[in-house]
Structure 1
Amino acid sequence: MKLEVVKLSDYNLVEFIELVNCIFEDYLIPIKWDVYNFELDARENSISFDDSFIFLEDGSPISFVLLCLRKNRARIDAMGVVKEKRGMGVGNYMIEYVIEKLRWKGVNSIVLEVIENDEKTIKFYMKNKFRHVRKLLSLIREDLPSGHEWNYVKSNNTRIYGLSANAEKIFRRRLNWQREPLTLMLSEDRYDMREVKHKGKVLGYLVWGEKEDGTFIVDCAPSDPSVSFADILEDSLKYIKDMTNTKFVQLMNLPEDDPLNDAAKMMNFSKFIGQFEMERRIR
């Protein structure tokens, strides 16, 4: 197979967004980007426009891959093939093309996420030498409590980066890409960032946001070892309820081995989507 390959940095962004949205119309989790939200996602997740590619056959785009890069680590943010070209080896071609590029860049590993019941896609990635790392859980809690006790002081991405990095070290968190301190910092002012305080002492942090029908927590964690994840999460739920009167709060892509997941179980969250985090070692 021989396809023309164009870097995203050399491609019309509006046409690219249209391609992605078209390809993902029949996927288990559809993507519906506009240019503005794509650029926010790209900044937050370190998508490299020079290392993301569109694949063309006879001048027409048939597939794409979006790559995130952080030093010697990479992540496939999204990858897809137009419906009429699936099952013809295009996906294998893209994976090998990307792996070779990353190898030359000195990248050691590449990760991705896939829906846990998407057996066909899981087999495809396993065939291409990806292996299961752990589950990522998307959780929801309704019937929220109210009456928060602590103070939620407006913060910024630099302060939250420091608190997140400290919590990662203290509690030995193995954070997934979307929850890393750098991701929170690169999100800039996209979310509501709060330092959780009591009597002037910083107890932890909360990063959250609103959408049309509810709210979501990007991350929250204690920065004080004497405070538990359950304590921070419980009071954060009360704060969000008090501020918005929301019907529900979601926690997306939460690693099964993260202490925030244990806290969510205690707070009666329920799973609505499960994913596998998968990894391929390159070097």
Structure 2
Amino acid sequence: MDARPTTAVIGGGTMGAGIAHVLLAAGSPVALVEADSARVDASRQAVVASLDGAAQRGKLPEGTSRDDLLARLTMSTSVDELPADAALVVEAVPERVDIKQTVLGGAARACPDAVLASNTSSLSIGAIAAELPGDRVIGMHFFNPVPAQKLVELVVHPGTSEATTTATREWVEALGKTAIVVNDAPGFATSRLGLTVGLEAIRMVEEGVASPEDIDTGMQLGYRWPMGPLRLTDVVGLDVRLAIAEHLTRELGPRFTPPQLLRDKVERGELGQKSGRGFYDWS
């Protein structure tokens, strides 16, 4: 496998670990940054687990082992320690503009030639870019689980340069994925559409129209969805869905108002797969 330029991932949670996985598998050295040593250890274990799963399914690149890929992974607790020659930096930190600006600002200083990509699923790329070298900033919205999902939604704001868009599209192709390009707008394309169906499915449960299982089966068999909207909500996280719905309500109006059932479940800690219970029992 040909070596590719150095990359960096900031934030090693579920999404960050998955992004690191696919960059390693594409032949790129990856510098992964987390907030502290405990999270560094957890993030490395998440990458190891992801690569182990791929190995068991025969999905690692031909002629490579998990250890071959891990040899390209470096870990740190400071954005200032990112390699200066990094060609791509992807942040996967919590969904707050100020946090994303801070980490990408540090990356912009440490990696003067890198594309600065945000993995946000709903925040304005233009707002994130406001305090940054805007021509280098682009949305790079991966989907969970990153190694399996084939789509990456690229989000361009008015200041994104054509060179940045082209380079990022080439990275997506190198990962074996397909890019769509959308303009910076609340919810982009995929989050807005996915949330619309998900919220309506929750309202249907709330109103007693049908069970979560039957709603999901209807969408899977009737519309060829690989996963129903309520199971998908559990996988994404009910708290994440609620935050996006509240954001889009502020930006686009009351049609995205979260159902009370969604608020109640989040209040009870029923966040989906990660908490063991949402619309389904994951225990």
TM-score if structure 1 supplies the norm length?
0.27
Could you say which structure has the higher helix fraction? Answer: 2
Q: Which has the larger radius of gyration?
A: 1
